[in-house]
Structure 1
Amino acid sequence: MELISMDPLDIMMRLDQIVPYFDPIVSAENQLIIGHEVKPFFQDDAGELHSLSWFFNDENIPSDFRLELIHTILYKVLDSYMKTDQSQLLFIHYDAKLLLKDDGDSMLSLLKTYADQGLRLEKLVLQFSEAYVSEHLSSFKHLFAYIQTFGIQIALDDVGQRNGNLDKLALIKPNIIKVDVSFLQNNDLPQLYQDVHHLLSMLSRKIGATLLFKGITSFHQLNYAWRNGGRYYQGSYLEETHEHFIAADSCKDKVKKDFQYFTTFERKKMKAQLDLTEKINQQLNTTLKNINPDDPYDKTILTVAKDCDSFCFRVYICNEAGFQLSANAEKDEKGNWNLDHEGKQKNWSWRPYFFENVVRMNVEKKGILSDLYTDIEKDERIRTYSHPISDNTFIFIDIPYSFLYEQEGLL
């Protein structure tokens, strides 16, 4: 299946040589194939297959050519799909520019013809490039809403590759958000992308969209998609592209086995985090018993810092409103603890989950270990342990990457 450019006119003169292939999509819920994405190819006289992605990406090709090719593909695909029980979703690429050009009339007219013959429109997923849609938000917002009234689902492809577009997803309200992870290597998953994909996971949940990770070519990429809220998965690691629809359980055993590994590993991570939380909790309870409540906050944080020296690099105290009451007790490169007064009276209530954690600590009367995040000053991944020392004061202990790295399950 080569990816080469050909003469567009050659393609248009031999539309009978267009061959649709089907790329399976797997659901995390039941590990079954719940749909197929159409991948059109041109089969030359020697029987070689050539991808047609270049055809739709070349803006120099007349729109009439692109529209005719899209409809040719649709006719071939829907004729095949109508012969199935239509239990699986059918993902179809459609040119967003062409859709906007006639407000979707030609596409909807074609689909209605098949709907009259029994096509279940709710099983169709029209897939569009997120970049172009975001640039013409006001036009697509209403057009997509209209298309969705027919039960047709909307998928936005290659989401998260450009900055500044995530906030627009809530306005477009797609049914499915597609994210490409093929460029992420096994041992090189930049934290920046993990943060973006985590935000996408939360956003998709809030707007009722399904997150689909495509381009999965390895065990590690599948694990990454699973950890970042993917409901649907697509890629050669799961199943290759086929010239026909394949059985729903074709890769069920493989995916189920991988999921069992994922859950076992995550349980170990959770236990490691709980063990660390309990270790710090016990140490703090011992330390706080020997601290005079009337001691100045700066004296308290130095005492705590020295007792927790083996697993922390910064200690400070805040009140329930987020204002820092103490200086920062910080460990220097020689391992000595010093006070940095710059942080005093800064407010940290803007941090995610600050108030939620304060309420939890007050109710549960115990400390909380944060998730991994990047410390602004050190520019490294850390965790913070927070613990109540009174009804309205809380101590925060920052744990360095070096310690987390040495402990299994804390990264």
Structure 2
Amino acid sequence: MIQLDAVDVMMNPNEVEVTYEPIFGAATFQVEGYMVHGHFRGESLTPFFYDDDVPVEYQLDIAKRMERLAAEALRDEKQFVTFRCRSEWILEEGGEAFLAPLRELNFPLHRIFVTLQGTELVDVSRLSRVVQYYRSSGVRVALDFAESTSIEDIMTIAPELLLVDLATMVEKKTLSVTYPQMLQTMEYIASKLGAPLLYKSIDHLGQLRYAWQHGGSYYMGGLLGRQEDSPPREAKGMSVLTQEVPAFFLHDQERLKRLYELEFELHGKVAELVQTGKWSRDKKDEWLLHIVPKLEGMLVRYYLTDQTGFQTSANVYQEQHVWKVDNTYRGYNWSFRPYFIRTMAAMSVRGRGYLSEDYRDFSSNEVTRTFSYPLPDGMFLFADLSEEYLYQNRLLD
């Protein structure tokens, strides 16, 4: 059936049409680009393009027709244009085969993103040379499904735009533990490459909020604007962004205010406990056991270190409402942890307690934040907030 469809497409290329999906800028709330999609008699051409039984040159011929149609419609616009492209296509004739229709129509090449699917890359070392040639011609390269692409391939291709698919994000609360971490990895890679992130498949507000919170420079999806036969210069996404983004900002601003207030509150409580005279450098475990009842319900694990990261106390932790002492980690050095130097520097400059970003604890697998406090005698308190407390007080998303 697929082969019959492929033959039908090749015999009737004049029935190939394109649609334009708007891409919105996070800063402007305007349509800043278009994703070009191909159709044949109302059906998506994606199966045709990814049918391994269809020769590459046939696929490329249809792709060229799509380019011509889009180039003619968009030549006088200012938005950038993303053309989906199989890596096999741009390996033909050193990349010139795919660019030919654009050159023939004198389309401004600096407005083009050739969009490769990261999960379908072939001959990456050779591909990277063609990509370099494209850059020298003014064409930029984007990588789709970046979140499912090997980091090595991403760094080799070094795209100017990373596309991340949020289609699996049905409800934020139902995401696996690894999904947000994977997207955070994309944020980090994008920052290292200097490549903006484009979040696609945004179909509900939860996805839009996630894209806004996690470094998205561009957005696209059904919530903002669907594919149209002619390039939409305006779409509902403009009003959606105008209405929703300020609400996202105010919500997160209030959450950050509560976190700062919590940091001040914890600083004041611990400072008062130190000033009561119970603190003793020689009785660190006893002091921890003295303060834990006074902070119960907020903090669930405590320990002390010196200024170079060596743990000088036991771990005092709560398990089923009972406080326990564990000497396993006494003497361990925690300076290798990425947050440690940053935390110590923050306490040194501020001269006060410091509340960390949220993270997932490797031993309990719970989301937490750590409060740190500079004690007398060169000691430092580290205490973890309970996940339940953070959720109840709307301090986590």
TM-score, with structure 2 as normaliser: 0.94
Aligned pair 1:62/2:55, yes or no?
A: yes
After TM superposition, the structure 1 stretch with the greater mean CA deviation from structure 2, 263-272 or 199-208, is 199-208
CA RMSD of aligned residues (A): 1.8
Q: In the alignment, which of 9, 16, 40 is matched to residue 18 of structure 1?
A: 16
Could you tell me how far 1:167 is from its partner in structure 2?
A: 4.6
Question: Within 1, Cα distance between the matches of 2:94 and 2:291?
Answer: 66
CA pair 12-249 structure 1, distance change in 2 beyond 3 A: closer
Mapping of residues 7-406 of structure 1, within 5 Å = 7-43=5-41, 49-82=42-75, 84=76, 86-115=77-106, 119-133=107-121, 136-161=123-148, 165-186=150-171, 187-248=173-234, 251-290=237-276, 291-333=278-320, 335-390=321-376, 392-406=378-392
Matched-pair identity in %:
24
Question: Within 2, Cα distance between the matches of 1:249 and 1:18?
Answer: 25
CA pair 93-228 structure 1, distance change in 2 beyond 3 A: same
**Cα displacement string for residues 293-317 of structure 1 (whole angstroms, at most 9, x for unaligned residues):** 4333222322232322221110001
| Structure (1 or 2) with the greater helix fraction | 2
Could you tell me how far 1:350 is from its partner in structure 2?
A: 2.7
Could you tell me how far 1:227 is from its partner in structure 2?
A: 0.9
Question: Within 1, Cα distance between the matches of 2:378 and 2:189?
Answer: 32
CA pair 64-137 structure 1, distance change in 2 beyond 3 A: closer
Q: Which residue of 2 aligns with 1:46?
A: none
After TM superposition, the structure 1 stretch with the greater mean CA deviation from structure 2, 338-347 or 233-242, is 338-347
Specify the SS of the correspondent of 1:342: coil
Could you tell me how far 1:161 is from its partner in structure 2?
A: 2.3
Could you tell me how far 1:212 is from its partner in structure 2?
A: 0.5
> Any conservation in 1 of the 2:164–2:200 contact (CA below 8 Å)?
yes
Specify the SS of the correspondent of 1:398: strand
Question: Within 1, Cα distance between the matches of 2:374 and 2:117?
Answer: 49
**Cα displacement string for residues 235-258 of structure 1 (whole angstroms, at most 9, x for unaligned residues):** 010011111111146532221111
Could you tell me how far 1:398 is from its partner in structure 2?
A: 0.7
Specify the SS of the correspondent of 2:78: coil
**Cα displacement string for residues 282-333 of structure 1 (whole angstroms, at most 9, x for unaligned residues):** 1100111123343332223222323222211100012233221211001121
Specify the SS of the correspondent of 1:317: strand
After TM superposition, the structure 1 stretch with the greater mean CA deviation from structure 2, 173-182 or 311-320, is 311-320
Letter in 2 for 1:176: L
Specify the SS of the correspondent of 1:275: helix
Specify the SS of the correspondent of 2:331: coil
Question: Within 1, Cα distance between the matches of 2:235 and 2:227?
Answer: 15
Specify the SS of the correspondent of 1:310: coil
Could you tell me how far 1:136 is from its partner in structure 2?
A: 3.3
CA pair 257-96 structure 1, distance change in 2 beyond 3 A: same
CA pair 410-94 structure 1, distance change in 2 beyond 3 A: closer
Specify the SS of the correspondent of 1:353: helix
CA pair 183-351 structure 1, distance change in 2 beyond 3 A: same
Letter in 1 for 2:19: Y
Could you tell me how far 1:152 is from its partner in structure 2?
A: 1.1
Q: Kindly tell me the number of residue pairs found equivalent between the two proteins.
A: 394
Question: Within 2, Cα distance between the matches of 1:140 and 1:300?
Answer: 62
Question: Within 2, Cα distance between the matches of 1:137 and 1:323?
Answer: 45
> Any conservation in 2 of the 1:362–1:391 contact (CA below 8 Å)?
no
Question: Within 1, Cα distance between the matches of 2:377 and 2:58?
Answer: 70
